[in-house]
Structure 1
Amino acid sequence: MSVIRFPRVSDDFGTPLFLFVDLQREYVVDGRAHALRHRQPWTGNCMRLLEFARKRGFPIAHFRLLKREPFFNRATPFAEWIEEFRPWPHEMVFERSQPSCYANESFAALLESLSRPDFVLAGLTCETNCLATLFDAHHRGHRALLVADASASRGLGEQSEGQVHDVATAIAGLLCEVATTAEIVARFAGRKPSLAV
């Protein structure tokens, strides 16, 4: 069976929101069930992307997964932000209990209120949270751009984190553009942020 790829719409992104998904301690504390074995390159690239968005004045949204179970529980320190990714007071913060960022009704309403709901997506984990968000964006006609090297995936069964991430980003490529941190920085370096509603 072959896959037919249709050409993408060629018009450029408007001013994107920069979305940082689930940069929580649950993923980086050794011994936790969801802890990633590899911290690079995603950590360094996420930090570079966040610093770029802050310096240029792009709108930034942070997402946090919170559940009523032992993992991602608000009452534990593991649900907290990884310290270097802690949101600044003026940045948006959205919480949800389901994988997709659209599970937060306020975020979904925000995107619906924009004339061009474009976003750049980075963070954890690509095989679930990022893909779920990208599927929802695709169905709503919202434009997304996944930053592959500023996101990471968990291993599944015999498949390593890297192998799962390669598959997840390949699937993402069917739904949206996929780029590197360096490509995003170069693409939006000259852009003046403006959110038209």
Structure 2
Amino acid sequence: MIALLIIDMQKGMQSPTLPPRNNPQAEANIARLLAAWREREEPVVLVRHISRSPTSVFAPGQSGAEFQEAFAPLAHEHVVEKNVPDAFVNTGLERWLHARGIRDVVIVGVSTNNSVEATARTAGNLGFSTVVVADACFTFDKTDFGGTLRSAEEVHLMALANLHGEYADVRSTADVLGSVT
């Protein structure tokens, strides 16, 4: 079994107040992967960020904390609520995967350099065979530590470079779909 982990595909990620993003095809690719997993009846884990800050768009009760309609969980799918970027920290996700004998995970979602990267690093460190799907993730423009504004694509590619070969195997949607169907 291979679990599909969909990270933070919440309504708050569609806010027009967010910085410019990359990969406008990410949602379509995530939807293709989700459809394939559901068709094969493989495990799907939907992760959402629940902020501890009452003013956050991800605070409990805010519409931004809700899953986007295309990624709403089915009744039998596992939902993980996290308060930090890493979906393994204080959520029981590792235990849930181990209890089902799942040793392989495919990670998609947002944002590449934050929750996706943090979750993939931990998955790899915990010994899971981890794939991050490059074209099924996205991120936002960000100013680096030296004060230079980096485009979302630059931030995305650096995050993927940080992961590939050490914590995860970075692949494309087509490659993943070709290997699991």
What TM-score do you get using the length of structure 2 for normalisation?
0.89
2:154 pairs with 1:163: yes
More divergent stretch after superposition (102-111 vs 171-180):
102-111
User: Does structure 1 retain, via aligned residues, the 8 Å contact 2:129–2:168?
Assistant: yes
Q: In the TM superposition, what are the counterparts of 1:22-37 in structure 2 within 5 Å?
A: 22-31=8-17, 33=18, 37=21
Q: In the TM superposition, what are the counterparts of 1:41-60 in structure 2 within 5 Å?
A: 41-60=25-44
Number of residue pairs the alignment of both structures matches:
173
Identity %: 26
User: Does structure 2 retain, via aligned residues, the 8 Å contact 1:27–1:36?
Assistant: no
The one of 82, 87, 92 equivalent to 1:101 is: 87
Q: Give ranges in structure 1 of 5+ residues lacking alignment.
A: 1-14, 190-197
2:69 pairs with 1:83: yes
More divergent stretch after superposition (69-78 vs 145-154):
69-78
What TM-score do you get using the length of structure 1 for normalisation?
0.82
Q: In the TM superposition, what are the counterparts of 1:1-197 in structure 2 within 5 Å?
A: 15-31=1-17, 33=18, 37-38=21-22, 40-69=24-53, 70-71=55-56, 72-157=58-143, 158-173=149-164, 174-189=166-181
User: Does structure 2 retain, via aligned residues, the 8 Å contact 1:28–1:36?
Assistant: no
More divergent stretch after superposition (130-139 vs 87-96):
130-139
Cα deviations by residue, 1:26-67 (Å, 9 ceiling, x for unpaired): 111212x4x654561101101111111111111100001001
Cα deviations by residue, 1:90-128 (Å, 9 ceiling, x for unpaired): 111010101111014321212333545210100111101
- SS of match in other structure, 2:142: coil
Q: 2: CA distance between counterparts of 1:153 and 1:65?
A: 15
Compared CA separation, residues 36 and 59, structure 1 to 2 (3 A): farther
Cα deviations by residue, 1:74-100 (Å, 9 ceiling, x for unpaired): 121111111111111111101010111
Q: 2: CA distance between counterparts of 1:162 and 1:23?
A: 19
Q: 1: CA distance between counterparts of 2:150 and 2:131?
A: 25
User: Does structure 1 retain, via aligned residues, the 8 Å contact 2:23–2:135?
Assistant: no
- SS of match in other structure, 2:5: strand
| Root-mean-square deviation (Å) | 1.6
